[in-house]
Amino acid sequence: MSPVPGAGRMEQLVEAIAERVVNLVLDAIDVNALVSQVDVDGLVDRVDVEKIIDRVDVQKIIDRVDVDQIVARVDVQAIIQRVDIDSLVEQTELGTIIAHSTSGIASGVLDVVRAQGVGLDDFVARWVNRVLRRSSADWPAGPVKLLAPVPVEVPSMDVAG
Amino acid sequence: MTSPPVVAAPPEAGRLGNYAGGVTRLVAFAADIGASWGLFTLGLAGLTFAINLVTGKQVNLASRQIVALVAIIIWEFVYFAYQWSLAGKTMGMALLGIRVVATDGDPITPRQAVIRTLALPLSFLLLGLGFIGILLNKDRHALHDRLAKTVVVYSWDARAARLRWLAKQEPTTPA
């Protein structure tokens, strides 16, 4: 309570007037027009970003990030699926490296012979199924253990170290 | 360290582990017959030469039909049983990229290899009907597969082969 009698009421009155005035002023001002007049580029130029960055303890921020948790959330398989490996191999030196490591006329011939064999296997199987009027869509492709999902090891990343 | 997530192998990963079809198996078998006969002939010629050299007499083992028949049966048994028990594949199968495994996908045991080898002639003796399962069964079981509890799968990755083929092509210049 104020020591001067009636000062409390006066204070409330002044506050109410001020509030009203401010609202009137704000209503009268076109904020968008005001902002458009501000030279933002000039302001940014005056900011010393390097100094701000110097003040930030990046290491401390990194230490607080749980990289393992982030990596665990990443669907690596989905990412791999989106990569066009064929085009990657075609357009990069990776192709040459693979070619050098596995090249040889023999391996090329083997690939062709085997591919022909697989193609003929499929052709025969298709015709047998057609003749017997059955579908092999639900059939197992191979033994369970050989077709079981492949576990992908996600390496632990120690950032703090 | 997080527990490793389990990701299903993509379908385009190749034919690795899929049941092998009849054509590939037939060609592999033909290659094996050729290889085993070739090796047998070479061995027989070498043995005949060695006997002639040591004894000084002209002996022709090939002309003794019973001996040759017994020798070829034993040789064929050794050829198939030994290679199946050792690596799950014969030379012909390695050439065509297939191998024999147990029905659950495990490597076959020497016992299974021996049973499979002994049962193989049965598939022929039944007028070839022992092989009909390769075309008709879900798991492409022949009679000798059923008796030995084995299956034949592709051990060849078609996708890897495609990458090798692509790698040998001239790199295309990006647009």
pLDDT per position as a tens digit, A2-50: 556 677 888 888 999 999 888 888 888 887 888 888 888 888 888 888 8
CA–CA dist A109, A132 (Å, integer): 35
Longest dimension (CA), chain A: 109
The answer to whether residue A59 sits within a structural domain is no
Nearest-CB residue to B138 (from A98, A118, A139): A139
Tell whether A113 lies on the interface with B, counting CB pairs under 8 A. Answer: yes
> Can you read off the two tokens belonging to residue A160?
């703090």
Q: Does the pLDDT value for residue B105 go beyond 50?
A: yes
Task: Give tens-digit pLDDT for A43-90.
Answer: 888 888 888 888 888 888 888 888 888 888 888 877 877 777 777 766
- Name the domain count of chain B: 1
Cβ <8 Å between A156 and B17:
no
CA–CA dist A126, A135 (Å, integer): 9
Q: Are B96 and B24 in contact, with CB atoms under 8 Å apart?
A: yes
- Name the domain count of chain A: 1
Q: Pick the residue from chain B with its C-alpha nearest to A128.
A: B135
Q: What is the ipTM of this complex?
A: 0.76
Q: DSSP label at B107?
A: B
Exposed e or buried b for every residue in A125-138, given b needs 16+ CB within 10 A? beebbeeeeeeeee
Query: Which range of residues forms the domain containing residue B21?
Result: 17-158
The answer to whether residue B1 sits within a structural domain is no
Which A residues, 54 through 73, put their C-beta within 8 Å of a C-beta on chain B? 68, 71-72
Residue B25: CB partners within 8 Å, gap ≥ 6? B96, B98, B134, B152
Mutate which: B16, B137, B154, vs A, most A CBs within 10 A: B154
- pTM of the model as a whole: 0.60
The answer to whether residue B163 sits within a structural domain is no
Please say whether the dihedral angle defined by the alpha carbons of residues A95, A101, A105 and A107, taken in this order, is positive or negative.
Answer: negative
Of B39-48, B86-95, B122-131, B159-168, the poorest mean pLDDT is in: B159-168
The answer to whether residue B149 sits within a structural domain is yes
Query: Which range of residues forms the domain containing residue A122?
Result: 104-136
Tell whether B136 lies on the interface with A, counting CB pairs under 8 A. Answer: yes
